[in-house]
Structure 1
Amino acid sequence: MAVVTAVDVTAGPGVGFLPLVSLGPAFAGLVGGWRRTAVVGSAAFLLCLGLGMYDGLFEGRRGLPALLSVAGVTVAGVVAAVMRQRREAELANVRSIAEVAQRVLLRPVPRGAGPLRIAVSYTSAVAEARIGGDLYEVVTSPGGVRIIVGDVQGKGLEAVESAAVVLGAFREAAHDETDLTAVGARVERALGRHLGGERFVTAVLAEIGDGPSATLLNFGHPAPLVVRAGGGVDFAAPPERALPLGLAAYGDGDGPKPHTVPFVAGDQLLFYTDGVTEARDGGGRFYPLDTRARLLKDDDPEEALRAVREDVVAHAEGPLHDDAAMLLVRYREAPGEDR
């Protein structure tokens, strides 16, 4: 508006810049509230009126179209601002509901369970919704500490609904079933009743007791990373690949077989979803999780996970394009170690 005024005063009435004063309320309606738009529109109307009188445009009614233009754009800007503010309020409500749903779905995991210290990190790729399809849970059962980390195919509310089915079935089965295979079968049945078509959920289940090993049951999920107390690093890959949950009808076997990995004092198990390992840098290179295991050396498991999360984001050079969940299980080096 100031630029238009300066040009109009300098160039004189013959140039016809006066209607451009309406750009003021137009931009105000895009970025401001309706009150601000109305104030800017009123100022533009008065400015247009003053410039029209200065240029003598009202003697031949040449200034009237400019006034009508400013008034019309101001009204349109106020209406647009009102509608935008309503949409923003609705979006804020939806985000608030999504946050509550996320807290109900993914409950805080215990910081300690038996001989274990546990930490979790979850980063949703859909920042506006703050909710995604990755899932995790830790349950202390008579058979030991049972864990699930999974990734639901797809996004949005359908993925969240599938994640809720998996977690609900796992929470019940982890307490009731005697072995990990039965837990997986029960989750499979529950998901089979829920899913339609060829949708699926990759997941890895774990059972960690007081013995020197952890039992894993992998349904087509990325293998957990094992970090040894002595510094060794390897992936706890299953002996055979298995189909994800929800695709049992397409398989020709009885599902995945449980396998054990040594897990003793000082060792760490890092469960994660493919949003971590498939994060790419500018050159298209995947995140090298095994070579970044040194980031897990912090005494606090939560700080260790925070370091990995920040490193993944730095590697991707910006926000992640997929949900990324990590769950770190650390075996206490001594019975009296601080939780």
Structure 2
Amino acid sequence: MMATVAVVDVVVGPSMHFLPLVSLGPAFAPLVGGWRRTACVGGTALLLCVGLAWYDNLTDVRRGSMTFASVVGVTIAGLLAVSMRRKREAELDSVRSIAEAAQRVLLKPVPRLAGRLRAAVSYTSAVAEARIGGDLYEVVAASQGVRVIVGDVQGNGLEAVETAAVVLGAFREAALDEADLVRVGRRLERSVARQLDGEKFVTAILAEVSGHQATFLNFGHPAPMVIRSDGTMHLPEPPAYALPLGLGEHGPAEPEPFGTDFLPGDQLLLYTDGIIEARDADGRFYPLTERAYLLKEPDPEAALESLRQDLLQHVNGPLQDDAAMLLLRYR
């Protein structure tokens, strides 16, 4: 920037004075450098001012002196800005470390082995650099079988994270204590009803895999996807759709459980609407059912990553909503 000002000043000649623009160098230096770099840029600007002032015959002119003073003042201000920026960066690093600890407590890594099942999770936040948002998931190996939840909290931000913490806390306790999935759902409904006010809600699907049977409880959530060992796909649907968690008083008291066979070689994919509602540049939704073949990878984590990369390629940009996927297979 300063070199451009110097070249233009020399080319145009002493008739036009571009000397004051040299102060742009030390003005922008604090944005990309530290104290040393800012001081070096300020010193270079002063030397450049001396040379251009001599070339423009401004060494004895008041305007030249004011330019020197402005460069010194901007350099000092830049050094102060660097000090403030470093302090704020340190505070931000501290806040991030606390937030990451809270995130690890809220969305703990799911166990890779749960009973007779292998589990894998993929989570992509719509907020840059965030690891959690309004989507939630958990896998619990209980005596009755492996119990799973995938949900989506209405809204975003800290309020959504707080609600997700309530749902996950209630599920982790109920999954170990309650005898069946319906009672787990009742515990969740009571917890969410106490937490949420007005028309806020949480869509969720609960699953229990016991033996060679998968049982589901759907609270207004996208249907689970079962991929059979022969490559065929099945989307189990409930006999009657129930309202999301938090809206139980406006409809049926509780959803009806429904199930399907889940045999060795089959795969169960639970996901949030951030997957199926992701759009490309032409407004087309992501065709999840047509991409089920991407889950053929032997390693479940690699299979989910292939599906995630295909989703990002479909969107060709940042996601507009959080996207969570949870994959279950037999060992």
Deviations 1:10-64 (A, max 9, x none): 3333211111111111221222223322221122122212322343313232311
CA contact (8 A) 1:95 1:130 kept: no
How far 1:85 moved relative to its partner? 3.2
Q: 2:64 & 2:303 partners in 1: Cα distance? A: 68
Q: Which amino acid aligns with 2:248?
A: A
Q: TM (normalized to structure 1)? A: 0.92
The answer to whether 1:55 aligns with 2:68 is: no
Once residues 249 and 265 of structure 2 are traced to their aligned partners in structure 1, the CA distance between those partners, rounded to angstroms, is 40
> Which residue of structure 2 aligns with residue 173 of structure 1?
174
Instruction: Show the counterpart of 1:335.
Output: none
Counterpart for residue 42 of structure 1: 43
1:288 aligned partner, one-letter code: P
Query: Displacement, 1:241?
Result: 1.4
| Equivalences for residues 197-208 of structure 1 within 5 A | 197-208=198-209
Is contact 1:273-1:325 (8 Å) kept?
Answer: yes
Encode CA deviations 1:255-304: one digit per residue, 9 max, x unaligned: 21111112112111100111111111111111111110101111111111
Is the Cα contact below 8 Å between 2:17 and 2:56 reproduced in 1? Answer: no
Aligned to 1:236: 236
Aligned match of 2:289: 290
Alpha-carbon offset, residue 119 of structure 1? 1.0
1:104 deviates by 0.9
Task: Give the letter for the 2:157 counterpart.
Answer: G
CA-CA distance at 1:8 after TM superposition: 2.4
Where 1:98 maps in the other structure, the secondary structure is helix
The equivalences for 1:75-90 within 5 A come to 75-90=76-91
Partner of 2:278: 279
The alpha-carbon deviation at position 184 of structure 1 amounts to 0.6
Q: Is contact 1:98-1:131 (8 Å) kept?
A: no
Aligned to 2:152: 151
The aligned counterpart of 1:213 is 213
Q: Deviations over 1:131-187 (max 9, x none)?
A: 211111111111111111111111111111111111111111111111100001001
What does residue 268 of structure 1 align with?
Answer: 267
Give yes or no for contact 1:95–1:129 (8 Å, CA) kept in 2. Answer: no
Task: Please say if 1:312 is aligned against 2:326.
Answer: no
Give yes or no for contact 2:49–2:68 (8 Å, CA) kept in 1: yes
Structure-2 residue corresponding to 1:256 = 255
Q: Residue 114 of structure 1: CA displacement?
A: 2.4
Aligned to 1:62, the other structure's residue is in SS state: helix
Q: Structure 2 CA distance, aligned partners of 1:130 and 1:75?
A: 39
Percent identity of equivalent pairs: 66
RMSD: 1.6
Question: Matched residues in 2 for 1:85 and 1:232: separation?
Answer: 56
Corresponding residue of 1:225: 225
Distance 1:60 1:227 in 2: 82
Worse-superposed segment, 146-155 or 9-18: 9-18
Q: 2:151 touches 2:205 (CA, 8 Å); kept in 1?
A: yes
Question: 1:225 & 1:232 partners in 2: Cα distance?
Answer: 11
Q: What's the CA shift string for 1:308-330, capped at 9, x where partnerless?
A: 01111111112222111111011
Q: Which amino acid aligns with 1:141?
A: A
Secondary structure of 1:178's match? coil
Structure 1 residue 192, shift from structure 2 partner: 1.4
Cα distance between partner residues in 2 of 1:128 and 1:118: 25
**Structure-2 residue corresponding to 1:128:** 129
The amino acid that maps onto 1:155 is N
Unaligned 5+ segments in structure 1 are 333-339
1:107-126 maps to which residues of 2 (within 5 A)? 107-126=108-127
- For 1:239 and 1:35, the matched residues in 2 are separated by 69
Distance of 2:281 and 2:127 partners within structure 1: 21
Stretches of structure 2 that go unaligned for 5 or more consecutive residues are: none
Residues of 2 paired with 1:22 and 1:2: CA distance?
12
Provide the TM-score with structure 2 as the length reference.
0.95
Q: Which amino acid aligns with 1:329?
A: L
Q: How many residues align?
A: 330
| SS of residue paired to 1:226 | strand
Q: Whole-Å Cα distance in 2 between the matches of residues 290 and 305 of structure 1?
A: 14
